[in-house]
Amino acid sequence: MEYQSAIAFFYIDIRYQIKNNTLIITEDLFSEKDYYHYLETGAINSIAQMNDAYLYDQNKSHTENLSHAIEKIVNNRRLIYGIPLVSKFGKNLTENEWELIVKKFSVKTTTTFNSSFLDFLREKGLHPKPFDEEKGQWVANCPSGAKHPIMISAYFDEFGCGWCKKKGGKQELKDWIQEINLEK
């Protein structure tokens, strides 16, 4: 994957392995020069290395498991860098599969997109609205009643409030709202 920062391009090589029903993704971050050296020689001289682990769901295909992990990685990175360019595809992720991932991000960040999570936010009077369509971010009113927003990932049906130190999915949001109502 190829990202462009304000200063230069940088490259990420993604590898994976499966151990004990866990999909382990390793990402190496390269400068442009080191990336081309890596492609030529296989020598890893990366700027940084990140490892993420995901549950490998035996009820899903290998491609579905890998695509889900890639979607999570891209979603986390795009909040800062946007959606990357992919210049080289391996045997496990085709160009068509990548295009489907990118399309999912763009569909779930428009004002016409609807989901049960967004409907739940509307029902609770939290008024969700797209914040950054390129990066897939939504915002909504904080259920605490404070004047700050919560961040929403409509793509993964997740929320986060840095001020209140709360995050999670729909169930965690329901629990938090119930906790707030009990305190009133």
Render 107-140 in DSSP notation, one character per residue: HTTSTT---HHHHHHHHTT---EEEETTTTEEEE
Q: What angle do CA 151, 154, 155 make, to 5 degrees?
A: 125
Domain identity same for 75 and 124: no
Domain identity same for 102 and 150: no
Domain identity same for 87 and 22: yes
* Angle subtended by helix axes 95-107 and 62-81, to nearest 10: 50
Domain identity same for 23 and 83: yes
Domain identity same for 74 and 125: no
* Tokens (6 digits) for 128: 């969700």
Q: Indicate the pLDDT class of residue 170, thresholds 50, 70 and 90.
A: very high
Higher-pLDDT residue of 172 and 118 is: 172
> What pLDDT is recorded for position 131?
77
Domain identity same for 22 and 101: yes
Domain identity same for 98 and 24: yes
Q: Residue 27's domain spans which residues?
A: 2-107
Reported as a single tens digit per residue, the pLDDT across 60-69 is 988 888 888 8
> What pLDDT is recorded for position 4?
47
- Cβ-contact 133, 152 below 8 angstroms: no
Domain identity same for 48 and 121: no
> What pLDDT is recorded for position 136?
61
Domain end (from 107, 138, 165): 107
Give CA–CA dist 106/26, Å, rounded.
Answer: 26
Question: Number of structural domains, the chain?
Answer: 2
Q: Give the CATH number for residue 62.
A: 3.30.70
Q: Which residues pair with 22 in a beta bridge?
A: 19, 55
Domain identity same for 101 and 120: no
Q: Give the CATH number for residue 128.
A: 3.90.580.10
Domain identity same for 90 and 52: yes
Q: Given a cut of 90, is residue 130 above it in pLDDT?
A: no
List the single range of 29-33, 60-64, 147-151 with lowest mean pLDDT: 29-33
